[in-house]
Chain A
Amino acid sequence: MNTAMPIESPEPLREERVPKNYITESRTLKSWLFTTDHKRIGILYLFSILFYFIIAAIAAALMRMELITPAGDMVTSETYNKLFTIHGTLMVWFFLIPSIPAVLGNFVLPMMLGARDVAFPKLNLLSWYLFNAGGLLAVYAVTFGGVDTGWTFYTPYSSTFSNSHVVEMAAGVFVAGFGTILTGLNFIITTHKLRAPGMRWFRMPLFVWSLYSTSVIMILATPVLAMTLALMSIERIWGVGIFDPRLGGDPILFQHLFWFYSHPAVYIMILPGMGVMSELVTCFSRKPIFGYHFVAFASVAIAIMGFLVWGHHMFTSGQSIYAGLVFSFLSYMVAVPSAIKVFNWTMTLYRGSISFATPMLYALGFMGLFTIGGLTGLYLAAVGFDVHVQDTYFIVAHFHYIMVGGMVTAFMGGLHYWWPKITGRMYPEKLGQLAALIMYLGFNLTFFPQFILGYLGMPRRYHAYAPEFQIYNVMSSAGASILGVGYLLPLLYFLWSLKYGKKAPANPWKATGLEWQTPSPPPKHNFVETPVVTGPPYQYSAEAAEAEFTANEKGEAYG
C-alpha cells in the first residue's frame, strides 16, 4: 500500500537499547492523567468504560435473576425500575457511545491517517475528564437514591412525579455529552486537516469514514439532548410548565426533542462498529473491500438519514398518523445503506482466503446478529406491527441485537485486532476463539427468546409477569450467565497477556493500513517519519495468501 515503511531497526547493540514507545516513554501516574497523547487517552477511556460497564452489567444480572420466576419476589418494583435505569443510562451514555469511537477511534484514527496526534490534543484530554465527571455524577445519582425514569426521562413522570435523583442523572449526561461533542469535533478536524501526504479522501480506511460520519452526528445531535435534559431539569426544579400539560406544555414535544438526539445516537452506537467490520472482513479474507465507495457513502448516508427517522419511536404516543406514515417510510429508507454494507461485506468474503482468527469470528458473528437486528428493525418501522409490539420485549430484543450483537461484538473484534498494536502483546488465540464462540451462543440464547416473548405480548420494564412466559425468561437468564462468562474470559486473558502474552510484531495480521507500519506499541508520535500514501487502501491479495498457505502447510500464520 505504501512506499514509506518507517520501521526503525537500530543496530543490534547488545545493550538494552529498546526505543521508547508511548507506554514506556514515561511511567508516572501524572504522565497518564495529564497526557495529551491520543493513544494514552484511548487507554484511559478503555478503563473508564470498563468501570461503567461492570456496574451496568451487574444491574442487568440482577434483572435477569429477578425474571427467572414470574412473581416479583427478589426485588421490589421500585428497585427494579432503578435497576433498568442504571442499566440503560450507563450502557448507552457511558459504555456504548464512547466504546469504539473514544477507545479504538482515539487510538487508531490518527495513525490510520498518518498523523502524529489528533488536531486538538488538549481538548481530547478534556473530553475524558468531562466524560468521567458526568459518569461519576451518574454513578452518584444511582447509588445514593437511584433514578427510576428509564434512560428516556419521559415527561411528565421525570419532571413532576418521580421521587428520585433525576436532576443529578440529567446533569451527568449533560456534562458527559460535551465530552462526546469534543471527541466528535476533534475527529472531524483531524480527518480534514491532518491526513498524511497522499492520503486522499478515497484512500482513507473505511473505519475513518465511519468515525467521520459518527462525529458529525455527535456534534449535531448531542447538543439537542443537552438542552432537552436542561429544559426537563429546569421544569423539575422550579415547577415551571415547559412540558407540563396543566400549564399548556406538551409532553410529546419532549419526546420529539429527546428522540431527535436519541435516534441519531443509535447510529453513534452502530456506525463505528460497521467501520471496524470493514477493517476485519478485508484483512481476514485477504481481499480488497467490495464496493469501497458504496461502503464509504453508506456511512455518510446513514448519518444524514439517521436525523430524519426519530418519529418511529413515537408511533403510539400521540403524534399525528401522517407523521407516523412519513417516519415509517423514512425508516425503511435508512435500512438501504445498512443493507449495502452487509451485502458488500458478504461479497468481500466471496472467494476470499478466509481465516478464522478471533477478530474474524467476531466479524462473522456481527454479520449474522446485525442482520437479525436490522431486519426486525424493519418490522418495527411498519406502523401496524409496531402498535402490536410497542414497549414489549420484541423491542428489547431488537435493539440488543444491534447494540450488543452489533456494536459490542464489533468492539470485541476490534479490540482483539488492535490489541497487539495497543499493548505490544498477543492475546492467546485459542482462548480468544473460545470466548468469541461462547459470547455468540450466550447472546443468542439470551435475546432470541425475547423476540418470542415480545411477540406474545410480554411488556418491558416489569419485574413480574404472567406464568406462561416463564420458560422463555428462564432461557434468557440462562443465556445471560453464559454471556457473562463470554465477557469475563477476555477480561482475564487480556490482563494475562499484558505480562505473559507473546511479543507482537509490528504487523501480526499482515494487514494494510498505516497503523501497522509502525512498531507495536507505537512511539509517542506514532511514526518515526511521516508516511507517504501512494495507493488505495486494502491492497490484499487472496491468491498470494493461498499460495503462501500451501507453501508452508504447517501454516502457523496467526500463531
Chain B
Amino acid sequence: MADAHAALQEQFEEMPQQKEAATLGMWAFLATEVLFFGAMFMSYIVYRTTYPQAFAEASHHTIVLFGTINTAILLTSSFTVAMAVHAARQNNIKWLFRLLAITVFFGLAFLAVKGLEYHEDLNENLWPGPHFKSELPPQAQIFWILYWIMTGVHAVHVTVGVVLLSIMAWMTSRRKFSDAYYTPIEISALYWHFVDIIWIYLYPLLYLIHRYSA
C-alpha cells in the first residue's frame, strides 16, 4: 500500500527507496558544502598560523556578546528542528507546525542579531580597505575580510534555511505530511543542523581567539 503514496515520484519503485535517495542526496550535498566552506577555513588556518598576533588582536574587536547570543539561538533552533522531526514521526502535525515556526523564528532572530552586529562593526570601521581601523596591524585586515566572508556566506545559508523551513511549515499547514511521509522535513532539518555546525566552528575561530588573555 505504501507504493501508492501520492508523493512517490515516477523514477522510484517504492517510498523507502525514494526516502533513502533523498536523504543520501542531502548528505552528498552537505559534503559539497563542507568543501565550499573548507576553502575559507583553509585560508583562515593558513593566515592565522602566519600572523597569530595580528589575528588575536583583530579578534578582540569582534562583539563577543552578539556572537554568544547567536550561538545560543542557533543551538536552540537545532533542538527545535530535531523536535519537529520527532513530531512528524509521531504524526503530531500540530506540533510539527509549531516547532517549524519556532525554528524559523530563531533563524530570523539570528539574522536580526547578526544585522545589528554588522552595523556595529561598520561603525567601528572594521570593513577592510583604506578606511580600516588604523590602530590595527595591516594583517588584521585579512582576519576581518575572512570574518565578513565567512559570516556572510553563513548568513546566506541561514537565510536559505529559513526559506526552506518556512516552505516546510506552509506545506505542513496544507496537510502534506504525516508519519507515512515526512522526508522533506527530515532533509531540511539535516540542512539546518549543518548550518548550525558551521556556526559552532565559526564562533570560537572568530570570536574567542585568546580571550583568556584579554
Residue of B nearest to A254 (CB): B43
Stretch from A11-19, A39-47, A110-118, A408-416 contacting the other chain: A110-118
Task: List, in ascending order, chain B residues with CB within 8 A of A221's CB.
Answer: 35
Q: Which of A214-232 contact B (CB under 8 A)?
A: 219-224, 226-228, 230-231
Other-chain residue from A192, A228, A247 in contact with B139 (beta carbon distance below 8 A): A247
Task: List, in ascending order, chain B residues with CB within 8 A of A231's CB.
Answer: 39-40, 43, 149
A353 to B32, CA, bound (A): 45
Task: List, in ascending order, chain A residues with CB within 8 A of B141's CB.
Answer: 240-241, 247-248
Q: Does A378 have its Cβ within 8 Å of any Cβ on chain B? A: no
Q: Which of A180-227 contact B (CB under 8 A)?
A: 181, 185, 188-189, 192-194, 219-224, 226-227
Q: Is the CB of A224 within 8 A of B43?
A: no
Q: Does A121 have its Cβ within 8 Å of any Cβ on chain B? A: yes
Q: Is the CB of A240 within 8 A of B128?
A: yes
Per-residue contact bits, chain A 31-75, to B (CB 8 Å; 1 contact, 0 not):
000000000000000000000000000000000000000000000
Task: List, in ascending order, chain A residues with CB within 8 A of B42's CB.
Answer: 257
Per-residue contact bits, chain B 3-29, to A (CB 8 Å; 1 contact, 0 not):
000000111110001001100110011
Q: Is the CB of A253 within 8 A of B46?
A: yes
Task: List, in ascending order, chain B residues with CB within 8 A of A253's CB.
Answer: 43, 46
Residues of A in contact, count (CB < 8 Å):
39
Task: List, in ascending order, chain B residues with CB within 8 A of A242's CB.
Answer: 43, 142, 145-146
Q: Is the CB of A248 within 8 A of B36?
A: no
Q: Is the CB of B11 within 8 A of A240?
A: no
Task: List, in ascending order, chain B residues with CB within 8 A of A249's CB.
Answer: 47, 142
Contact A223-B36, Cβ < 8 Å, known A231-B43, A257-B43, A525-B10: yes
Contact A219-B24, Cβ < 8 Å, known A228-B39, A241-B128: no
A230 to B153, CA, bound (A): 11
Q: Does A291 have its Cβ within 8 Å of any Cβ on chain B? A: no
Q: Which of A69-122 contact B (CB under 8 A)?
A: 115-121
Task: List, in ascending order, chain A residues with CB within 8 A of B51's CB.
Answer: 248
Task: List, in ascending order, chain B residues with CB within 8 A of A192's CB.
Answer: 21, 24
Contact A220-B145, Cβ < 8 Å, known A240-B129, A248-B139, A257-B39: no
Q: Does A239 have its Cβ within 8 Å of any Cβ on chain B? A: yes
Q: Is the CB of B50 within 8 A of A119?
A: no
Q: Is the CB of A120 within 8 A of B25?
A: yes
Q: Is the CB of A219 within 8 A of B129?
A: no
Q: Is the CB of B28 within 8 A of A219?
A: yes
Contact A194-B38, Cβ < 8 Å, known A116-B11, A241-B142, A253-B43: no
Q: Does A250 have its Cβ within 8 Å of any Cβ on chain B? A: yes
Task: List, in ascending order, chain A residues with CB within 8 A of B31's CB.
Answer: 219-220
Within the complex, the shortest CB–CB distance from A174 to chain B, in Å, comes to 11
Q: Is the CB of B32 within 8 A of A181?
A: yes
Task: List, in ascending order, chain A residues with CB within 8 A of B21's CB.
Answer: 119-120, 189, 192-194
Within the complex, the shortest CB–CB distance from B134 to chain A, in Å, comes to 14
Task: List, in ascending order, chain A residues with CB within 8 A of B46's CB.
Answer: 250, 253
Per-residue contact bits, chain A 264-275, to B (CB 8 Å; 1 contact, 0 not):
000000000000
Q: Does B33 have its Cβ within 8 Å of any Cβ on chain A? A: yes
Within the complex, the shortest CB–CB distance from B122 to chain A, in Å, comes to 13
Q: Which of B127-144 contact A (CB under 8 A)?
A: 128-129, 138-139, 141-142
Other-chain residue from B12, B29, B35, B145 in contact with A240 (beta carbon distance below 8 A): B145
Contact A248-B39, Cβ < 8 Å, known A119-B11, A193-B17, A234-B149: no
A375 to B129, CA, bound (A): 48
A239 to B128, CA, bound (A): 9
Task: List, in ascending order, chain A residues with CB within 8 A of B17's CB.
Answer: 193-194
Q: Does A144 have its Cβ within 8 Å of any Cβ on chain B? A: no
Task: List, in ascending order, chain A residues with CB within 8 A of B25's CB.
Answer: 119-120, 185, 189
A239 to B141, CA, bound (A): 11
Within the complex, the shortest CB–CB distance from A34 to chain B, in Å, comes to 15
Per-residue contact bits, chain A 497-530, to B (CB 8 Å; 1 contact, 0 not):
0000000000000000000000000000100001
Other-chain residue from A185, A222, A257, A525 in contact with B29 (beta carbon distance below 8 A): A185
Task: List, in ascending order, chain B residues with CB within 8 A of A224's CB.
Answer: 35-36, 38-39
Q: Is the CB of A226 within 8 A of B36?
A: yes
Q: Does A238 have its Cβ within 8 Å of any Cβ on chain B? A: yes
Residue of A nearest to B34 (CB): A223
Within the complex, the shortest CB–CB distance from B154 to chain A, in Å, comes to 13
A221 to B36, CA, bound (A): 9
**Residue in A117, A224, A250 whose Cβ sees the most chain B Cβ within 10 Å:** A224
**Residue in B29, B39, B50, B142 whose Cβ sees the most chain A Cβ within 10 Å:** B39
Task: List, in ascending order, chain A residues with CB within 8 A of B13's CB.
Answer: 530
A-B contacts, 20 of them at CB < 8 A, read A116-B11, A119-B21, A120-B25, A189-B24, A189-B28, A193-B20, A194-B11, A219-B32, A220-B31, A220-B35, A224-B35, A226-B36, A231-B39, A234-B149, A241-B145, A247-B142, A248-B50, A248-B54, A248-B139, A253-B43
Shortest beta-carbon contacts, A-B, top 4: A223-B36, A227-B39, A248-B139, A117-B11
Query: Apart from A223-B36, A241-B141, what are 8 other A-B pairs with CB-CB below 8 Å?
Result: A189-B24, A193-B17, A194-B11, A194-B12, A219-B32, A231-B39, A247-B141, A530-B13
